[in-house]
Every structure is written in structure tokens, then in C-alpha cells.
């Protein structure tokens, strides 16, 4: 509105460039671009290659972990089969020895009385033809039975020996297979470890870049907040109370001032008051926000950015407090911000991991005015690009990543303290954990004890090398997303009062001991708790 002063904060030229749309993003370590392949959070080609190599190693380790698990099971089964076969062979040994002993005793008894039985002795001892025939038949049956018993025992022994030999070979093959897999797993772990040095330098560079951007952004946010306060203070000083509609007033100085609607003043005040709060993928405040969560909180809206655009009345003359919906169109409605003036807005930006003052990008898809009545839902731009999914200026990685950073490669500046030592988590998890710890403190007189929180890729590799049977494959752990903690101080053991309290209360804060870590699941970890996983 030419000639109409909206307030110093709303016409101030941005001190530094805010978050850029995806198609305008620069090549900054830790930044994302539409040309990145799925799962690649870095635009720099050298870093992208590093990440691809790490992904290859991660897949190899994952495959090997499954194979090793199967091989361990095969070793257990083959060892059990060998033990069973050995026991059967030993029983057959005993049976043969027993039959042989019986034969020896029988022969000795006969020789000690009548000598070795034969047809001639039967003839000499027979008192009648029937005695001879009966004795001959009896002797034949006795000899046949004795021979059959011994022969059967020998045959069973031979079968048991063959079974034991086969079981021994199977056990050796299973052990050799497990040994080979362990060697290959060690080689892959070494390759992963070799990457960590390069990742360490890259992560430090990304962290420095994010810190620099956040510092510049902090200055811009503070200036904008101060300008907005000056505007609202001016209204108060002039005795002007906003009404339901925008009005223009003339100040004693003769200067005209735009007085925004009361709902707009409240919404912009809320958005400006959120400046500097962390970005999280799902956040409606008051501690952290997503971009559509910020507009939901400021205006009491519902749904995603696209759903908000569908029901709000569109406008072509954006005013302070209107919403700007951001594309590009091929990504659909991927972000939304609260307009401050024709060039700037307040939004929760995924790349800067915070609520910031940002330039309105050229990829704006349209504007809408929340103060106008809602309309029936209308079609809005839908995603047609088959590549990465963009949200709030960052990438939602298929693997569950956020802000475009891969697992274990999140700059420390993008995480938040949990109030215990130097431990940090994703900001929504951190704030929720603080609430959980405070409630625990009320019950037990002390805060929760923590041994592990966010775990870098390097730390995951090191832990996997020490405990491959327990640790997650590097790059897959929820610790690497900043969404898991390992607890101590009594909470690490099932059956304690501390653990029982957590089982009963942690869910209220979004935390749980995941099913795979619970008793009877084969990998019991009562100390491991995850945020927002179901």
C-alpha cells in the first residue's frame, strides 16, 4: 500500500538472506537440493559419494548381520545334532559291548560244563530221538538269537557312527561359514570405520555452516521481533485497539498507519514470538514447530500446509498475517509461512532447524487470508516429482531422516540439550524428555540417569565393532536420529521401581521401551527407550 506505513518491522529490508526454496538452495554442506539422490542429504559431490559409499557398506553390514544370525543358528543346531549323534553312537558302543559280554559269559558257561555246544554233543546226551531233535532245534534257536542280537547291535553302532560323522561334518561346515561371515563382517566394519574420519571432517564443516547461518538468522530474527514490538507499542501508545477488519488511521504527526485486524495481530505476535524455537517434523509448539504446525498454532488451523491452502480463501494482494504457500509446484505444497510484508515471512525451516524470518521465495504457489471465512476444500498443487519428498524447506528422507541430514550425521547445532550432561536429541524428543525427567524426579527425588543419547555414525561404527550381536547396523540406529536414550540409575533393569514407573508413565511423554527390547523377545534391553515410535 503506497504511502501507508505498516510499521517499521514490516518494511525492513532483510539483513541476511533467509531460507531459500529447494530450487534455489546453494551448495552448502548439510544442505539439500532436488538433484540429490534418495537418501543423499549433501549437495557437495565428494560428500555425496562418501554417503553413497557409506550406504553401500550399511547395506552390506545389514545383509551380513542377517547371514551371521542365520549362521549362528545353524551352528547351534548342528552342534546340538552332533551332540545327539555322539550320544547315540556312545549308546551303540555300550550296546555292542553289552551283547559281546553276554556272548562271552554264555560261551564260558557252556565250556565250563559241557564244552562248546554242537550237534555231536547233543547226539551223545540225547536219551531218545525226540531229545535229539528238540535239542538240535533249541541250540539252533539260541545260536540264531545270540547272533541276531549281536549283529543288530553292530549294525546300529555302524549307523550311529555314520550319523555322527555326518553331523560332525555339518557342524564343521556351519562353523566355517560363521567364521567366514565374521571375517567379512570385520572387513565391512573396517571400511565403515575408514569412512568416519572423512565424515567427521564433513560433519564439522556442516556444523560450522549451520552455526554461521543460525547466528546470522538469530540477528535477523531479533531485529524483526524488535520491529514488531515497536509496531504494537505504537498502537498502544496511540490508544488504538485493533478491530475485526483492517483500518487506516492518521496519527497526530499526520502519518497514516495500517491497523491490522485483531486476529492478525494476535497471529503475527504468536509467530514472531516463536522465532528461534526449534524446527521438528511434527510440532505444534509451544517448544518446537513444523512449518504447518506454526500456522496451526498461530491461527488455530488444522491439517498440513496443502490442507490449509485447500480451505483458506486465496488472495492476490498479500497483507501482513496472510499465509504464503510454497512450492515449487512439482513438489506440491511443501511449506507455508506467515507473511510479514511483500518480501518476508515467518516460517519453521527444516534446513535451519528453527522458526526464522525468511524471504518469500519465487516458488510461492499462492497466498491465503485466514481472517476470511473458510471455503469448501479446493484442489491445490500436487506433487508430480518422483524424487525426494520436500517438507518445510527440507527433505523427508525415505529412511526417516529429517532436515535433510542422514542418520548419525546431524550437526550438533541442529539438536537440543535434554538437561542431562552434554546429551542431545532431536528437539521435540529433547523437550519431551525434559518433561519425562521432571515427572520422574517428582516420583524419585532425582532426574533420569542417561548413558547414551544421540549417537554419531562414527560412534555407531565403533559400537558395532565391539558388540555386533547387540548394536544396530551403523546408519540405522534410532540413536542416530536423535530419538533414543539409554538409561541408568535403576531404570536399566527390569523389575525395579524405576523401570516399572517408566513402563506406566513414559508413554504420556511419547517415550517407550520398544517391543524388540522387552523381555522374551530375544534381545532384551530394558535400558533402551525411544521417542515417537508408535
Predicted pLDDT of residue 390: 82
**pTM exceeding the 0.75 threshold for the entire prediction:** no
Per this entry, what is the length of the chain? 534
C-alpha cell at 217: 538468522
Q: Please check whether residue 503 is in contact with residue 461, taking contact to mean a CB–CB distance below 8 angstroms.
A: no
CA atoms of 64 and 62, how far apart (whole Å): 5
Which stretches of the chain drop beneath a pLDDT of 70? 1-55, 57-59, 61-62, 64, 99, 101-150, 188-189, 191-203, 206-207, 210, 388, 396-405, 465-475, 521-522, 533-534
Run of H or E including 223: helix 129-237
**Domains in the chain and their CATH numbers?**
46-218 (1.10.287), 276-401 (3.90.1720.10), 416-531 (3.30.1380.10)
pLDDT for position 244 = 82
Determine the distance from the C-alpha atom of residue 276 to the mean position of all C-alpha atoms in its chain, rounded to a whole number. 26
Cβ contact 402:350 at 8 Å: yes
Q: Find the DSSP H helices in 238-304.
A: 262-273, 291-299
CA 220/CA 359 separation, integer angstroms: 11
d(CA 60, CA 62): 5
What is the tens place of the pLDDT at every residue in 382-402?
Answer: 998 877 678 888 776 555 555
φ, ψ at 483 (rounded to 5°) = -125, 15
Burial (CB count <10 Å: 0-12, 13-18, 19+), residue 148: exposed
What CA–CA distance (Å, rounded) separates 341 from 343? 5
The C-alpha cell that represents 36 in the structure block: 540429490
Amino acid at each position: 500500500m503506497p504511502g501507508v506505513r505498516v510499521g517499521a518491522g514490516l518494511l525492513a529490508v532483510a539483513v541476511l538472506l533467509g531460507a531459500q526454496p529447494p530450487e534455489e538452495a546453494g551448495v552448502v554442506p548439510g544442505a539439500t537440493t532436488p538433484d540429490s539422490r534418495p537418501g543423499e542429504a549433501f549437495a557437495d559431490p565428494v560428500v555425496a559419494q562418501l554417503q553413497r559409499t557409506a550406504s553401500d557398506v550399511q547395506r552390506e553390514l545389514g545383509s551380513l548381520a542377517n547371514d551371521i544370525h542365520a549362521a549362528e543358528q545353524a551352528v547351534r543346531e548342528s552342534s546340538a545334532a552332533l551332540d545327539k549323534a555322539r550320544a547315540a553312537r556312545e549308546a551303540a558302543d555300550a550296546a555292542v559291548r553289552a551283547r559281546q559280554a553276554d556272548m562271552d559269559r554264555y560261551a564260558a558257561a557252556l565250556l565250563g560244563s559241557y564244552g562248546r555246544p554242537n550237534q555231536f554233543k547233543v547226539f551223545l546226551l540225547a536219551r531218545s530221538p525226540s531229545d535229539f531233535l528238540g535239542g538240535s532245534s533249541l541250540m539252533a534257536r539260541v545260536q540264531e538269537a545270540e547272533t541276531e542280537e549281536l549283529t543288530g547291535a553292530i549294525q546300529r553302532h555302524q549307523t550311529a557312527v555314520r550319523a555322527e560323522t555326518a553331523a560332525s561334518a555339518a557342524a564343521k561346515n556351519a562353523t566355517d561359514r560363521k567364521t567366514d561371515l565374521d571375517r567379512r563382517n570385520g572387513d565391512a566394519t573396517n571400511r565403515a570405520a575408514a569412512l568416519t574420519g572423512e565424515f567427521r571432517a564433513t560433519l564439522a564443516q556442516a556444523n560450522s555452516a549451520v552455526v554461521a547461518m543460525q547466528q546470522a538468522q538469530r540477528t535477523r530474527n531479533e531485529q524483526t521481533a524488535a520491529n514488531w514490538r515497536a509496531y504494537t507499542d505504537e498502537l498502544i501508545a496511540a490508544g488504538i485497539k485493533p478491530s475485526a477488519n483492517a483500518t487506516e488511521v492518521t496519527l497526530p504527526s499526520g502519518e497514516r498507519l495500517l491497523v491490522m485486524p485483531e486476529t492478525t495481530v494476535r497471529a503475527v505476535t504468536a509467530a514472531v514470538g516463536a522465532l528461534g524455537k526449534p524446527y521438528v517434523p511434527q510440532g505444534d509448539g509451544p517448544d518446537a514447530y513444523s512449518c504447518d504446525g506454526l500456522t496451526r498454532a498461530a491461527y488455530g488451523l488444522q491439517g498440513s500446509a496443502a490442507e490449509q491452502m485447500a480451505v483458506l480463501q486465496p488472495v492476490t494482494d498479500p497483507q501482513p498475517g496472510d499465509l504464503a504457500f510454497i512450492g515449487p509446484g512439482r513438489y506440491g505444497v511443501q511449506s507455508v509461512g506467515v507473511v510479514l510484508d511483500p518480501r518476508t515471512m515467518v516460517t519453521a525451516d527444516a534446513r535451519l532447524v528453527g522458526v526464522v524470518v525468511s524471504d518469500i521465495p519465487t516458488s510461492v504457489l499462492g497466498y491465503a487470508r485466514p481472517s476470511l471465512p473458510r471455503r469448501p476444500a479446493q484442489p491445490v498443487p500436487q506433487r508430480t516429482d518422483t524424487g525426494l519428498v520436500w517438507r518445510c524447506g527440507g527433505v523427508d528422507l525415505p529412511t526417516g531422516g529429517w532436515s535433510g541430514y542422514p542418520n548419525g550425521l546431524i550437526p550438533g547445532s541442529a539438536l537440543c540439550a535434554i538437561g542431562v550432561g552434554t546429551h542431545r536429541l532431536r528437539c521435540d524428543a529433547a523437550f519431551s524428555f525434559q518433561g519425562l525427567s521432571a515427572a520422574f524426579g517428582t516420583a524419585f527425588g532425582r532426574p533420569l540417569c542417561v548413558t547414551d543419547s544421540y549417537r554419531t555414525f562414527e560412534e555407531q561404527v565403533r559400537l558395532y565393532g565391539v558388540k555386533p550381536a547387540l548394536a544396530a547396523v551403523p546408519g540405522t540406529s534410532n540413536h542416530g536420529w536423535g530419538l533414543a536414550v539409554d538409561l541408568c540409575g535403576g531404570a536399566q533393569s527390569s523389575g525395579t521401581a524405576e523401570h516399572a514407573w517408566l513402563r506406566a508413565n513414559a508413554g504420556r511423554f511419547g517415550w517407550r521401551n520398544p517391543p524388540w527390547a522387552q523381555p522374551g523377545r530375544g534381545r532384551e534391553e530394558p535400558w533402551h527407550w525411544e521417542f515417537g515410535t508408535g
